Structure 1
Amino acid sequence: MPREREMNARVVLHGMWVSPYSKRVELALKVKGIEYEFVEEDLTNKSEALLRYSPVHKKVPVLVHNGKPIAESLVIIEYIDETWKEGPRLLPQDPYERAKVRFWAGFLHQQLFEAMGSVLRTDGEAQERAVKEMHEKLKVLEEGIKGSYPGGSPFFNGDNMGLLDVVVCSILGNHKVREEVLGVKFLDPDKYPTVTSWVKALTELPLVKEAMPPHEKLVAIYRLFRARLLESAAA
């Protein structure tokens, strides 16, 4: 009974509509079919609740379950999977397969996303170097998952959308927005056929379409972000 009360307790997600970190937690909650309340945070004027729940990083997302806060997107997703066991599993049961998913999620989260961020905040020769590095990371991803990704299914796990699919959506799901803003090709189907078909299949899912922000709204905010980043770098 205590375990049942714990799972049915109030779930609140403190996030930001444009944050890919928040988006991946939203997707995980939707995959599991968990009802939750979304609290939109203004990171230029952080709420007292956010500062209280995330005293170390003071960032989104933060999941509050039964009054207990959990921070950092990948940690939150694993917590969701371990707490709500009755829904689709976000990580494989097999320890080796689970370790592979964690490895590639870490690679996407720490290396590819950082390389993509460098493209956004640089210009000229620095941006050219950043683009080259990003494509090197994409090549590593393409070669690394080629034998693991089941091409006949939109999901890395094969049965349902899992942690790695969620992370890919949050990072590469808006690649067309970045391409429009930066004039840089991110996903080339000739160079990265496996990754491109994977991302395309995922972004066409109704659940993902519903969760992702409108294209034009993202284009506007990314242009604003880029202008501010370049201005800050030149100062």
Structure 2
Amino acid sequence: MCITAQLQESSIINLICGLDQEYTIQLATDWADGEARFTEKSSHSHTGFIGMGSSKHGIYARFEGKEYVLTQPLETTLDGNYVEEVLGAEFKLLYQCDRFKSEFDKYAQAEGMSGIPDFYSNFKGAIFGELHGTKLSNSCIVPYRMFLATPLLPTKIKIHKFTGNDLLGDADLDDGLTMAIHAFTHFLLMYSYDYMIFRDLQGMLWFKAGTMCLIDPQAHT
């Protein structure tokens, strides 16, 4: 979903997704305090700061009654157009992972394959959007107008890594899920006529759904 958002004084963001329909998203306003606590290795679980990786941090948000993590770059002095390009590319990769997984499933079904462990990408419900009016009480709520929001997964579940940046890694022959994801990676290379291959595939086993959710995929072309 691509949207335009406007920040209100109540820390509620009104998302305009059409001419006659309005949506709202709630954004945590204490995330910066949580990030500072995280950096100091203090407790931050009571704040809206979700966590950070090597280049991005996550902020707690709610949209249509569902929990989200809103993502923006850690570096606060980047050019806005560059941020839009980076987050847009990440959104595109989530979409591609989702669509290629559908093609992988169709191929497996056509070939009469069964018993393949299921997995999916965290694309369904993802939002690539733009904020307007990001000031609240003379302080900046978020550093950039562009954002990427994905459905929030449990934060205490360990991330399982299936492939690296340059190496696919050694599949555990007793691990059907790892073998399935490696087969998916190989399928994409063949399906795209050697044009594209996913790398750095990792995810969380979402016990509520009983399915592995792949997050933040990267790709070589």
- TM score, norm. by length of structure 1: 0.26
The structure that is strand-richer by fraction is 2
- TM score, norm. by length of structure 2: 0.27
